[in-house]
Amino acid sequence: MGTRSIFNRFAKQASRFAGRPASFALASMVVAAWLLTGPIFGYSDSWQLVINTGTTIVTFLMVFLIQNTQNRDTEAIQIKLDELIRATGAANNALLDLEELDERTLDRYRQRYEALARATRQAGGHAIAAGAAEGVQ
């Protein structure tokens, strides 16, 4: 089992754990405990440093876990959308790997579909599917 697979499994489980109400409750209890210990430690610099360091480390690590999870989810959604486009007879297969195109080409597609949406609204909401992406290259 490769390092990437181990990290992906760990990231997935950690993201699931971090997104649960129990995790928020645990974090809230840690902050409450820290606040309650303030008078014991005289609100010292060291006391403040504990929470600052802890939250900084957790935030730093969570950025990578969240990014990993978001990347995997985005890729999975993209594959599903590509399959829907591919399987739909009237769909424009040129849209299959749109995320790989340069910004200029993406802007042309976006403008074309925005114009199509405006035309559809102006026509009373009736679908105007023909030629949606014609002329975009």
* Mean local confidence (pLDDT), 43-60: 96
Q: Structural domain tally of the chain?
A: 2
Residue 10's domain comprises: 3-91
* Residue 78 domain flag: yes
Q: Is residue 135 part of a domain?
A: no
My answer on whether 80 and 14 are in the same domain is yes
Which residue type is seen at 47?
Answer: W
The reply to whether 45 and 19 lie within a common domain is: yes
Q: What pLDDT, on the 0 to 100 scale, is given for residue 130?
A: 47
Does one domain contain both 80 and 103?
Answer: no
Q: In the numeric block, which tokens belong to residue 100?
A: 């790989």
Please report which helix (H) or strand (E) contains residue 26, including its range: helix 21-36
The verdict on 73 and 101 lying in the same domain is no
Is residue 28 predicted with pLDDT exceeding 50?
Answer: yes
Examine the domain organization and report whether 37 and 57 are in the same domain: yes
Q: Answer yes or no: do 87 and 106 share one domain.
A: no
Let me know: does 132 contact 112? Beta carbons within 8 Å. yes
23 part of a folded domain: yes
Checking if the pLDDT of 126 tops 80, the result is no
**Residues 6+ positions from 98 with CB-CB distance below 8 Å:** 106, 109
Q: Which of 15-19, 22-26, 81-85 has the highest mean pLDDT?
A: 22-26
Q: Are residues 87 and 107 in the same domain?
A: no
pLDDT at position 133: 46
